[in-house]
Amino acid sequence: GQATDGVAPDFIMLSDPDHAVIDRYGLFNEDAPPNRPLPHPATDVIDKEGVVRYRFVETDYRVRPTNQDILAVLEALD
């Protein structure tokens, strides 16, 4: 079935079928099943000037930064 069941989401949905974006950012998961490109989980905080101030990449999809970690980085930008 359709993911939205006929209801248009109120946000933009993006797709990267040729994994150009995950390749560009070095996130392509080489252990992903064939024909199913998956990225490694990543979190980036980018300041108003476009500078990456925080980057978290982990090969284990279960390991993520906490909300508190990200909030501390955002608060330090002010």
Report domain extents, the chain: 39-78
Question: Could you tell me the pTM of the whole model?
Answer: 0.68
Q: How far apart are CA 69 and CA 74, in angstroms?
A: 9
Our CA angle for 50, 55, 57, nearest 5°, is 140
| pLDDT above 60 for 40 | yes
DSSP 26: T
Residue 3 — pLDDT band, cuts 50, 70, 90? low
